Each structure stands twice: as structure tokens, then as C-alpha cells.
A and B are shown apart, each in its own frame.
Chain A
Amino acid sequence: MDTLIEIQNLTKHFGSLTAVNGISFTVKRGEVLGFLGPNGAGKSTTMKMLTGFLAPTSGSIEVAGHSVLDAPIRAQECIGYLPEGAPLYPDMTPASLLRFVAAIRGMSGSSMRERIEQVIGQVHIEGVLHQSVETLSKGYKRRVGLALAILHDPEILILDEPTDGLDPNQKHEVRELIRRMAKDKAIVLSTHILEEVDAVCTRAMVIDRGVVVADGTPEELGARAAHHNVVRFSLRNASDAVEDELRDLANVVAVDRLADTNGKKCYQLTPLNRMSIVGEVSDLARTRNWEIEELVSQPGRLDELFREVTAPDVPLSSSESANTEPPKGEEVSA
């Protein structure tokens, strides 16, 4: 795998505010890197610097071997970018926008028409091609923006919240599209939707207050969550001694009794240092002839890690702070 994006010590100050504080990372071909982080963490600022829209205060950015600072045009030729909020000229139609960007990207004639047709099909905007952008829904605007970004089939794709404003079906389609393109590109996307990271990203990076606080595959990051490998199990006809015996297990730090269901006793065991304890528990159950109804070991979840590593004292609105246990797929802006 070859490295397509290389960022070193990237820093950006806005006056006295440090938006990005010494971030370094690389992205290889075939990787889909998800940027996670609270609002204002520096995700968009990093992307704006990566695409040459903002100049960094210090640090270096190399894209496909070109320095964004010294050879911005070369770098920009290799990048497809969907800016935050998918800004488009409101008085233009998707068709004229595509032709404009294609012309700038050096396409012409029949190859231009073919490529535009192809991209239109990929993002499904056939029905609105000749409607002015200002009359389009948020979802269509986002897809037109995506079409402009992938038009020249770039090696590097930078997508700032690509599925924001899309309905669940459209989200699914865009994720499928990203997955299909991922093989021979380096893709960086930012999102608030943690489920999206599991769905499309090969790697996730949590950014908070301008620094990288976690970096790894979604599974690795989940494994770092405090609840990783927590075991839940339920027993029929269990005596009260069970709880004490569980507590005596070497690698169990806490045993919590959960609500009984249908006469079954339910327990939650928290392991020491997130290690796997499901083997120990089942061995114990076998020697004691407990009647196990259910035994599950749960992998840690990304949203747990997210809350653990990002600053809890950023100003929260009450609705966001109340949202401590988000259902899967909901936005986490904590």
C-alpha cells in the first residue's frame, strides 16, 4: 500500500484560538479514515488545510507526493473535496455545475459527457439535473456536491460530513458508493454518526480540541472502551451464593445484579483491564452445574470510547448532555 496523504505536525491558530494542534497522520491507498470528534474539535479545519483552502500556521501536508503548500494546484488535481455543508452556486443547475467543474478538471467532448453521465448515475440525481440548485432539498444538494467531488475520479477523496441531511436509504447508498470507491483511493471523511464509522471506515481517528486522542480500526477503538468484554449472563434456579462465587473469579472486578426476568437471575460482570473472561465464567458454570440460559460477551462500543476520550467539559446543550445512551445510528455530539 502506498501513502497518499502525509500530514506532519499540522497546526492552525485563529487568533488566540488553537483549532488544530500538531496533528500528524498518514493515509494509505485503500484506507477509509473516519474523523470523529465534537463540534469545533478541528475536523473541518484539518480538511480545509488538506485541500489547500486554509493555510496552516505550521506543519506540512503532502498529497500524492505533492506539497499542498508549495504546489497547491498539483495537489488539488489529485483531490476530490466535498466541503462542509456542500456549498453550491444556487443559481446554477446540477448539469451546468458538473460541466463547469469538468471543464476546470480538464475534461472535454464525449469523454466529459460520458463521465458526467456515469457520475450522475452513481449519486442518483437524474431527476433534478436541470433544476436550479436553490430549489433542491438538502439531500440532493449533498449528492450534487458529492458528484462534483468524484467527477475526476480522484485518488484522494476528502468528504466533510458526506451523509449529513440524507435519509436512511440515501445514507446507505452513499456508504455503498464510498465502499466501492475505497479500493484504489485514500478517503478521509468526517462524521458525527458513529455507526457510519463501523459501516465504511477501515480506520477511525477521534480528534478533540485539535489533537488526536484515539486512532485505530473501529474494533480496536471499541476494545479501548471501558465496557469492552463485559459479560452478561442469566441463570435458572441459581442460589444467592452464585454472586459471591463470581466475585471470587480472578479477573472480575465487579458483579452487578441486573433485574430478574421470568425467574432467571441476570448478572453483569466487568473484567479487569477489559480482558476476556467469558471462558472463566463458562468453566465455573460447568463445574458448578449452573443452568446457563444466556451468556454474552460484549465488545466495547465506539460511542463509549468517544465519550471517554473527548472532553466532557465542552459546553453542552441540555439535549445533548442528556443523550448518554444513544441508540445505534443516532448522532452523538457530546
Chain B
Amino acid sequence: MKHTITIFKRELVGYFSTPVAYVFISVFLFLAGLFTFNLGGFFERGQADLRPFFDFLPWLFLFLVPAISMRLWAEERRQGTIELLLTLPISMTQAVLGKFLAAWAFAAVALMLTFPLWITVSVLGDPDHGVIIASYAGGILFAGGFLSIGSCISALTKNQVVAFVLSVVVCFLFMLTSLPPVMSMLNGWMDPVLLDAIRSFSFWAHFQSITKGVIDVRDLIFFGSLITFFLFTNALVLDIKKAN
């Protein structure tokens, strides 16, 4: 635990000691504003909620979260610092978890910096704060899910571009599975049980149920087990690479 925290701190400080963090946060906030106000019709809707923002958030995350996760292990490998890190007396779990949690905290900070939107709706109307809090929590879980996938993929390569592209594709598959066009395409010929199983893997469906204001245990279990699975695989990938 202590080692995980030490690694977590080093990583998190690392984000803010390079321009990466500031560029990322600026781009994220700019796009969040653009989506919410221009495409989402924040004012035109005349409703005091953050639906336009949270509806577009998954698309934003699809490209921005892999941008965080792509460097997690690929960069360590390219710089050779992975040899420094993994020959310190720490377990693979501590290394993987420390790096992942730092990336997750960073993504959470970026998401939290959209708080002016919340203030805006609060000033203009009387939003349901419970729904907004649940949505933010859902957003953080969503980002964690994508990050765990991205971290695992980053461990496979020392090329960050490869890690980025592969992560976007895999994350997209996880998002896609509940979109109406995909579902209607599969509907009719695929076994309904299988269809349900596929839908249950959809980030979107779980996220949407959370943004309705209800944090269901099943959604928590989904994100929790998904993150655990990918981080476990991440450690496994690093162990296998050790042997090769």
C-alpha cells in the first residue's frame, strides 16, 4: 500500500511537471464547452440540468482518455525507465495500481474542472444536484474503465501512437455495443440472451443508467470488475514480457 502511494505520487507530480497536463486539461475543457453549448443546445433546451454535457462526455473520453493512458507503460519502455521501476523492491500489482490510480486521479481532476457548468445551471435554474453528483461519479467510473483498458494496451507496446489507436478502437467497441443502430443490426438474427450479454458490456448503457441519478450496484460491479480484469491483465502482460 505504501509503495502504491509512493508510485502514485511520483506519477501524479509527473503529469503536472510537463505541459502534457495543461494541454490536456485545456483541450478537454474547451471541447466540453463546445459540445455542451453548441452541439448540446445547453441554453436552447431551457432545462436546468447537465444532460447536454454528460451525453457528449463518452465521446470526449473516447479520444482523450486513451491520450492519457497511451504513455503509462509505452513511455516507460521507450525510455528504459521500466527497468529502473521494476527492479525496485515492489510488486507488479503495486506498480500497475500506482500508475493507474495516478492517471485516474488526473482524469478526475480534469472532469472536476468542468464545475463552472454546474455553477451555471445552479444560477440559472434549480437543477437536481443528486443527479449531477451521480453523473460526475458515473463519469469518473467511465474514465476509469477506459483507463484500465488503455493501460493494459500500453503495456503491450513501446510505441505510444500504436497504444493510442488500439485503445481508441477497443474502447469504441465497448461503447458501441448498446447504440441503437448496432443493436438493431444484431437484433433479429442473434440469440436474445447473447444480445443481452453484449449489451451488458456496454459502457454507454451503464453510464446512462447512472446519469439518470440512480447508482445501481450492478453498474458499480460492472465498472469495478472491468477495471480489475484489465489491470490484472496489465500485470500479466508485463510478467509475460519479462519472460520474453
Contacts and interface: CB of A to CB of B under 8 A. Distances in A.
Contact of B17 (A54, A85, A88, A91): A91
A55 B239 CA distance: 9
A280 to B, nearest CB: 55
A210 to B, nearest CB: 17
B80 interface: yes
A79 B10 CA distance: 22
Given A54-B242, A100-B6, A100-B10, A87 B87 contact: no
A179 B244 CA distance: 35
Contacts of A87: 79-81, 83-84
Which bracket fits the contact residues of B? Answer: 20 to 34
A92 interface: yes
Contacts of A35: none
Given A73-B90, A91-B17, A91-B18, A103 B84 contact: no
A81 B87 contact: yes
Given A87-B84, A148-B84, A104 B6 contact: yes
A73 B243 contact: no
Contacts of B46: none
A218 interface: no
B76 to A, nearest CB: 9
Contact of B83 (A53, A74, A104, A132): A53
B192 interface: no
A152 to B, nearest CB: 9
A105 interface: yes
B83 A91 contact: no
A96 B7 CA distance: 12
Interface string B31-55: 0000000000000000000000000
A105 B3 CA distance: 9
Contacts of B6: 100, 103-104
Contact of A83 (B3, B14, B83): B83
Given A14-B244, A53-B242, A104-B6, A88 B81 contact: yes
Nearest to A145: B84
A81 B91 CA distance: 17
A9 B81 CA distance: 28
Nearest to A49: B242
A234 interface: no
Interface of A, helix, strand, loop or mixed by DSSP: loop
A48 B91 CA distance: 17
B14 A89 contact: yes
A83 B80 contact: yes
Interface string A66-102: 0000000110110101011101111110001000110
B88 interface: yes
Contacts of A52: 86-87
A51 interface: yes
Nearest to A75: B89
B235 to A, nearest CB: 13
17 contacts: A53-B87, A54-B242, A74-B89, A76-B87, A76-B88, A84-B83, A88-B81, A89-B10, A89-B79, A90-B79, A92-B14, A100-B10, A103-B6, A104-B3, A104-B89, A105-B88, A105-B89
Interface of A: 14, 48, 51-55, 57, 73-74, 76-77, 79, 81, 83-85, 87-92, 96, 100-101, 103-105, 132, 148
